[in-house]
Every structure is written in C-alpha cells, then in structure tokens.
Amino acid sequence: MANVTLKYIIDLVAGQLQDADNDAWDEQELVNWANIGCRQIVSFVPAANIVVSSLKLAPGSLQRLGVKGVAVMDVIRNMGTDGETPGPAITRTSLELLSAYLTSWPETSQNSEIANFATDPRMPTVFYVYPPADGTTYVEVARSEVPDAIIWDANGNWETAVVGISNEYVGALIDYILFRAFSKDADYPGNEQRALKHLKAYLQALGIAAEAEQQGGSQNG
C-alpha cells in the first residue's frame, strides 16, 4: 500500500486542473474517481495491492478467497488452528504435476497440515491444497485485494486516508483522475486532447498500451 494520502493526490490533481477551489470539479467527484481508479488499477495489475494474512481453510482441496479477493499470489506457510502459530512452509506446485503423479490426490485423506498448493490461471481467486484440508486450520496467504473505498465527507475525515495501491501506481491514479475530469469537460477547447493524453499515460503505466502496440506490431509483421 502507498504511503500517500488521498488528500495529497486530490490537491495535485486540482493543481493540474487549475481548479484549486474545486469550482469546475467538486472534491467529492474527484474522490469518487480516485476510488474507481484504484479498483481498476488492481484489476489490471493485481500486484498493486497485496495483503498478507491468515486464511482459514475450508474442508477439502478447493479453497476460495473472500469477497474482496482479486487473485492468489502465494500460499506461504501453515498457521495452526488459531491463525497465529507459524508452521511448516507450503510449496507451490501445479495441478498438472499433482494429477500426473497422484491421480487420486483430491480424494486423499484430509489433514490439518498442508504441504502443497496450486492455482488455476483461469480462476485467480481459487487455489487447491494438498493434502486436502480438514477445515480446522489456517494458512498464510499473499493475495491481491480490492482496495477499500474512501468515502468523502464534509468534515474532511477522508483527508488522512491512505490510498489502497502501492507507490509505483500513484502516478497512474493521478492520470486516471485527470482523464475522467478532462473527459467530463471535453467541450472546453483542448480538454479532449488533454483527456486522451492522460488516458495514454495511465495505460502505459499499467503496461496495457505497450502490450497492445506489441500485438499490433506482430500482426502487421
């Protein structure tokens, strides 16, 4: 998570908009765009908001993240029945390897200690454990999560809240907010071009524009 407050970002945006008093774009609107931008950034780049904490396992091999989960990044170690007792490390494997060497692995007897985990790229919020869990223990999981929304309020309580993305994507968030702001006021001369400039910078910061250009170049070649 970044160590930058949302107020700092909104002030930078207002300065670039030359709207320090928020006459053309009100503060609440900019905060809402910031929340949307954070969520979009994490959806494109899961590593932009990684949380490490204990997760209680469900009985069996199939495990799911909570409602805020975006993707499983790593399953690190066993954490006992209280979620606070470090245990043996857990090794990443693949579903293909498990199935090749032990076709009956999903039906193996349930256990309180996990040795391996595997993910499926088609289902980023799901992972499998071996041996199947007995449902009494926790594991430490590094997972990407949807950032908490920061709610604007007239008393300014939101101003000290820290944005829910890592520092390297703060610039992308600023570009996203500026893109939305200039797009809203696109009838004003030059704002449409300004919006497109910030959209391009936002996509480039996430590696999206570069990927599109590479794909286009390979198709043309």
- What pLDDT does 22 receive? 61
Sheet holding 123-133, edge to edge: 60-64, 123-133, 116-120, 91-92
Q: pLDDT tens digits for the chain (221 residues)?
A: 668 999 999 999 988 887 656 667 889 999 999 999 999 999 999 999 999 999 999 999 999 998 999 999 999 999 999 999 999 999 999 999 999 989 999 899 999 999 999 999 999 999 999 999 999 999 999 999 999 999 999 999 999 999 999 999 999 999 999 999 999 877 777 889 999 999 999 999 999 865 544 444 444 44
Q: Are strands 116-120 and 91-92 parallel, antiparallel or unpaired?
A: parallel
Partners of residue 220 on adjacent β-strands = none
Q: What is the pTM of this model?
A: 0.85
Q: State how far the Cα of 61 lies from the Cα of 151, in Å rounded to an integer.
A: 38
